[in-house]
Structure formats: C-alpha cells, structure tokens
Amino acid sequence: MGLELEPLFQAWSYFRRRKFRQCSDLCSQLLEQPPGEQAAWSLKTRALTEMVYVDEIDMDQEGIAEILLDENAIAQVARPGTSLKLPGTSQGGGPSPAVRPVTQSGRPITGFVRPSTQSGRPSTMEQAIKTPRTALTARPITSGSGRYVRLGTALFEYIFHHENDVKNALDLAALATEHAQFKDWWWKVQIGKCYYRLGLYREAEKQFKSALKQQDMVDTILYLAKVYLRLDQPVTALNLFKQGLDRFPGEVTLICGIARIYEEMNDISSAAEYYKDVLKQDNTHVEAIACIGSNHFYSDQPEIALRFYRRLLQMGVYNCQLFNNLGLCCFYAQQYDMTLSSFERALFLAENEEETADVWYNLGHVSVGIGDLNLAYQCFRLTLVNNNNYAEAYNNLAVLEMRKGHIEQVGDLQSSYVAARKSEEAFPGHVDTQQLIKQLKQHFAVL
C-alpha cells in the first residue's frame, strides 16, 4: 500500500516547490475542518502572498513608454565598458555573440528570465502606461517587506502596490517623513521608490543616499543601484555593490547584482565567477545555477551544463524551460536516449505558445543535427504556427529551401553587400561576414 502524506506536510511540500495554488487549496481544506489550525492559516497567507508578490528591487524592463518618454540626458558616445546601451563593448571573455543568442537590445540571453532580460515587455504604449511594474522572482522576500507593521506603512504599501497610485503614495510618504522630522530612513526609501516610478531618478538617488546615511540597509543599496542602472551608469552601480560587500560580507543579493551587471555588459567570464561566489554562500540559488549552466553550454561544455541543470531538477524546478535546456545538453553531449524524452516533457509542460515554439525550434535543430531535413522542416513550420514572429525559424526555413534548390532570386550582389555590411556593424568580429564582404569586393572588381 502507498503511504499518504499528512495534509499539512503535503501543503508545506507544495510551498517549497513553489506550487502556491495547490498549497493554498490544501490549506483551505484544512481550515474547513474544526478546529482550524494556525499553521495552515499562516502557510496559506504566505502562499497567497507569494502568488502576487512584487519585488521592487529587481531591475524592471525598459519598455516602450520608458524608451519614448525618457528625457534623461546620458552620454551619446560612452567609453567602452561603461554603458549598457552599447552591447559588445566589454573586453571580457566568454562565448562570442555569434554562438550565443542575444535580446532585442543586443545583450546576451541569461540562463534565468529576469525583468531586465526577456519577460514582461508591453506590446503597446497604452498597455505600457497602464501596467504596474510587477515581477515574480525566485528570490526570497527581501528584508524591507517585513516592515509592514504600522498602519501608515500598510496604507502606503496598499496605495503603492495594489492601487498603483504613485502620486498619492508620494504625498503620504512626504507627510509621514515630515511628521518624523526627516529622521525615519524607511519613509525616505519609500519616497525614493515613488520618484523612481515617476522617472525622477536624480531625486530618487538623493533620497536613497540620505536613507543610507541614517541606516545602512542592503535593500537601500539595491534600490540605489537600480537607479544607476536606469541612468546607464553600470560602473557606478558596480562600485556601490562592492562597497556594500565591505559592510555586508557574503550578502548574496549584492554578489548576484554584480554578476547581473557584468552579464549585461557582455563580460560573461566575470559574471560566471561572481555567480560561483553566490553558490559558495547559497548553493540552492536558482538564478546562479541556471546562469552558470547556460554559460557552460555556450562555451561548448554541454556535459558540465547538464550537471547544473540536473541540480535544478533535483531541487524541484520542474518547468518547460528546464527540460528544453536538458534536451539540448543531452543532444550536444551525445546522450541521445534522453534527448527526445526531455523535449517531449518540455512540450507537455509548455504553458503558452511561445514556450511551445521554442521547443519545436530546438527540435528542428536536433533534426538538422541528425540529418533528417524533412523532420527539421516540419519542426520549423510548427514553430511558426505557434509563434509567427519567430525570426530564427524563418531564417532556418530559408536555408532548408535553398538546399532544396528553391531560390527565387540569384545574383543580387548589391543587396548581399548591404546586408553583409549591416551584419558587420552588428558584430565586427564575425569572420564569416568579413570573408563574404571580401568575396563580394572581388566580384565588384571583376565587374
């Protein structure tokens, strides 16, 4: 006979595996039975909180509204290695952009979906303006969220997060800090958060600095670094994090912040070293494990990447992206028996059409690798069925059509030269592009 788990223990197991809906439902069943357990009540509140939790410290996505309405003046021609706006300027090591995919802004895709990398970009201006800046993360609740005791702070949090009424929240925080005779660091942090939401980054910087003088807090350092990143001052943010580590040695969030900045500056090797430092302090840090695994994969070390992804699987991370990555690692590590089963599991766990498209695209790559071009063609077509804007699938379908001899236009050397020059501007060190330009110039010389 199979053993059944005690309901409260099972609910706690759901919570640990981040299955908050199942945890909440099971706690509700326990609370209906007399007498209601306080442990179930507490666990349910934690599960409900995690489901809608907003982590203000995470760097949020710079969407359409921010880009079009940004009036902050920054250096138009920044020095190499000092700007996030100029991808590929860093001299750090790591795989080249030719083999590692990048975001629309040109930064390498990380191993972990964060607000500043891939997720949550509004598609229209109206949606961008109406949508509050929210982000579900795998990071534990930060220390600042524990201070919701007084009525004033609870009211502020409700107005700021739930109602998304930043102006009234700012008025409340200004009155409260004036009542406290400008000696309460917490209210200064809240004013800084409001200024940040309103796009007044320099004013937010002053508030966070003032709060740090009164009370040295990790959260305030993270908020201030977030301001510097939005002002495109990554070096200043790095120095701030390193100063914070002098006062808070081994603080995981500060080390992780340094690693993120190096990753966005294309210095992948430095980022990997700091992610390893994160794992020395917290060996269950999902983001660090995922990013190190991703870096090993794009450095032609799929066997080592496989170990990191298996570690995530052992920790209870169970989603489409993980099995997608496991399938690719198994394929490139020549463990073919696990490749297709991993992709099948990824398709089963896919929650939306974009995730399904990613799986079919990778299956297409596997099909090309094993020489089954007909299967590859079908996989890339299925990719476009699920996501009609998948540029890579269009590109690979064009290559397959060219191999079949289905070429509509041949001999347009000028268009080829223009496209090659654009490719060279995007990635100056790409050898194949330079060879193509050289061949085209030879053709033009003959003509």
Q: Residue 45 falls within a domain, yes or no?
A: yes
**Side chain identity, residue 124:** T
Per-residue model confidence as pLDDT tens digits over 140-170: 333 333 333 456 778 888 888 778 889 999 9
Final residue in a domain of this structure, among 282, 315, 346: 282
Across the range 32-54, mean pLDDT stands at 81
Of 162, 120, 112, 145, give the one whose Cα is nearest residue 223.
145
Q: Residue 126 falls within a domain, yes or no?
A: yes
CA distances to 146, 158, 161, 165 from 174, rounded to whole Å, are 21, 16, 17, 14
**pLDDT: which is higher, 244 or 140:** 244
Q: What distance in Å separates the CA atoms of residue 377 and residue 403, rounded to the nearest whole number?
A: 12
Q: What distance in Å separates the CA atoms of residue 245 and residue 241, rounded to the nearest whole number?
A: 6
Per-residue model confidence as pLDDT tens digits over 329-360: 999 998 888 999 999 999 999 888 888 999 99
Residues 59, 106 within the same domain: yes
Number of helical H runs and strand E runs in the chain = 22, 0
> 93-102, 202-211, 355-364: which range is least confident on average?
93-102
Is the per-residue pLDDT at 371 higher than 80? yes
Q: What distance in Å separates the CA atoms of residue 329 and residue 301, rounded to the nearest whole number?
A: 9
Q: pLDDT value at position 440? A: 82
Of 57, 84, 117, 94, give the one whose Cα is nearest residue 273.
94
* Phi, psi values for residue 415, rounded to 5°: -65, -40
Q: How many domains does the chain have?
A: 3
Residues 63, 19 within the same domain: no
Query: Which residue is listed with tokens 């299967």?
Result: 375
Final residue in a domain of this structure, among 240, 263, 282: 282
Residues 28, 135 within the same domain: no
Angle between helices 185-197 and 201-214 (to 10 degrees): 170
Residues 168, 193 within the same domain: yes
Across the range 415-431, mean pLDDT stands at 81
Is the per-residue pLDDT at 13 higher than 90? no
The domain in which residue 47 lies consists of 7-51
Average predicted confidence (pLDDT) for the chain: 81
Residues 152, 269 within the same domain: yes
Please state the length of the chain.
447
Q: Residue 375 falls within a domain, yes or no?
A: no
Residues 107, 255 within the same domain: yes
Q: Residue 442 falls within a domain, yes or no?
A: yes
For 110, the 3-state DSSP assignment is coil
Q: Which residues contact 298 (CB under 8 A, 6 or more apart)?
A: 94, 95, 99, 100
Per-residue model confidence as pLDDT tens digits over 389-406: 888 889 888 888 888 777
Residues 31, 92 within the same domain: no
Q: pLDDT value at position 122? A: 44
Are the C-beta atoms of 284 and 315 separated by less than 8 Å? yes
Q: Residue 122 falls within a domain, yes or no?
A: yes
Provide the percentage of residues in the chain whose pLDDT is more than 90: 38
Is the per-residue pLDDT at 410 higher than 70? no
Final residue in a domain of this structure, among 282, 316, 348: 282
Residues 137, 272 within the same domain: yes
Of 321, 328, 402, 403, give the one whose Cα is nearest residue 357.
321
For 108, the 3-state DSSP assignment is strand
Is the per-residue pLDDT at 419 higher than 90? no
Angle between helices 320-332 and 286-298 (to 10 degrees): 30
Q: Residue 228 falls within a domain, yes or no?
A: yes
CATH number, domain containing residue 157: 1.25.40.10
Query: In the structure encoding, which two tokens stand for residue 166, read together?
Result: 């930043």
Are the C-beta atoms of 213 and 204 separated by less than 8 Å? no
Residues 62, 24 within the same domain: no
Highest-confidence range of 7-11, 220-224, 297-301, by mean pLDDT? 220-224
Residues 209, 163 within the same domain: yes
CA distances to 69, 99, 265, 297, 324 from 85, rounded to whole Å, are 17, 21, 9, 26, 30
CB atoms under 10 Å from CB of 67, counted, come to: 10
Residues 88, 36 within the same domain: no
Query: In the structure encoding, which two tokens stand for residue 202, read together?
Result: 């320099």
Q: pLDDT value at position 154? A: 81
Query: In the structure encoding, which two tokens stand for residue 410, read together?
Result: 């041949």
Residues 13, 111 within the same domain: no
Of 292, 232, 280, give the one whose Cα is nearest residue 94.
292
Q: pLDDT value at position 208? A: 96
Q: pLDDT value at position 69? A: 61
Across the range 203-226, mean pLDDT stands at 94
Are the C-beta atoms of 272 and 108 separated by less than 8 Å? no
> 108-122, 194-208, 407-421: which range is least confident on average?
108-122
Are the C-beta atoms of 393 and 383 separated by less than 8 Å? yes
**pLDDT: which is higher, 323 or 411:** 323
Query: Which residue is listed with tokens 């073919």?
Result: 336
Of 68, 85, 65, give the one whose Cα is nearest residue 77.
85
Is the per-residue pLDDT at 133 higher than 50? no
